[in-house]
Amino acid sequence: MTKLDRNDRLVRLGLLMIALSAISVLAIITIFIFEQGTPIMFKYGFRSFLLGRDWYPSEKSFGLLPMIVGSLLVTFGALMIGVPLGLASAIFLTEFSHRRLSRILKPVIELLAGIPSVVYGFIGLMFLVPFIRERFGGPGLSVLAASIILGIMILPTVISISIDAIRAVPDSYREGSIALGATKWQTVRLVVLPAARSGIIAGIILGMGRAIGETMAVIMVAGNAADIPGSILAPVRTLTSNIALEMAYASGEHREALFATGVILFIIIMILNTMANVTSTRQRKK
């Protein structure tokens, strides 16, 4: 770094202010959500929020357990669908397909990442929900429908980050393994995937964050009943849907309870972010 003259120091101070105010946005958001959401949690006790099974805001019963379970269930379901499909596509496009094919398909997949989530929800509502209702019974609006739609939504994220992680594995690893007589698939399974592991995991965690934070698409296909679902064909309500469904008319303690829902969602997301950050730093150091 060259020496700065007085003007440059002023500029640097100004830019530092800008950078700090950009980051203070995170602090402000955290403060506002917690300030609105935590008092009611203290008033009724964390236990009754986290473990209460009854969500009847009009009777001052604010149990969030069905929504916490709901969010975890659909996120888990989304990963069960999105991760195998996404990972297989990434391996196929990097290791087994023609260069030309992957050069066409990767941008296509990245373009599809931009399709708004409401559109995914709408397609789910028009095609998937009736299909589940007719084939498997139940209302169709279900854990299964939400999991499938979220699984499809996280596909582009999982695919493009896994492709980057697999491409970052040096070719000499593959050449060494092939030279030892391993088949292409053995090379992928025993050499390439272990080497790309932390990048792939970071991609999966990002997809998970997207799934757990998604709102509008889930509302359209999940049925939104505030009960712990008895089967994957039963309707479900997630933390995000809980906020979005009732925010428009909530007031007083009801509104505070929705902010408390936001607090819990926020904490879950922050844990995921930190995990993704730690794994991707570990990858970079390697």
User: Which of the residues 198 through 227 are near another protein (CB under 8 A)?
Assistant: 206, 209, 212-216, 219-220
Site for another protein in 125-164 (CB under 8 A): 125-127, 152, 155-156, 159
Return the exposure string of 54-82: e unless at least 16 CB atoms fall within 10 Å of the residue's CB, then b: ebebeeeebbbbbbbbbbebbbebbbebb
Site for another protein in 67-106 (CB under 8 A): 84-86, 88-89, 91-93, 96-97, 105
Longest distance between any two alpha carbons in the chain, whole Å:
74
Q: Which residues pair with 56 in a beta bridge?
A: 61
**Contact call for residue 278 and another protein (CB under 8 A):** no
Distance CA 276, CA 206 (A): 7
Distance CA 87, CA 79 (A): 11
How many chain residues interact with another protein (CB under 8 A)? Answer: 91
**Contact call for residue 197 and another protein (CB under 8 A):** no
**Contact call for residue 277 and another protein (CB under 8 A):** yes
Token readout for 5 is 């003259």
CB atoms within 10 A of CB 238: 31
Site for another protein in 33-52 (CB under 8 A): 33, 36
Token readout for 185 is 């698939």
Nearer to another protein, 11 or 168 (CB): 11
**Contact call for residue 269 and another protein (CB under 8 A):** yes
Min dist CB 122 to another protein, Å, is: 5
Piece of 40-48, 57-65, 167-175, 177-185 that binds another protein (CB under 8 A): 177-185
Phi then psi for residue 124, to 5 deg, are -60, -45
Binding residue for another protein, selected from 42, 47, 107, 197, defined by CB under 8 A = 107
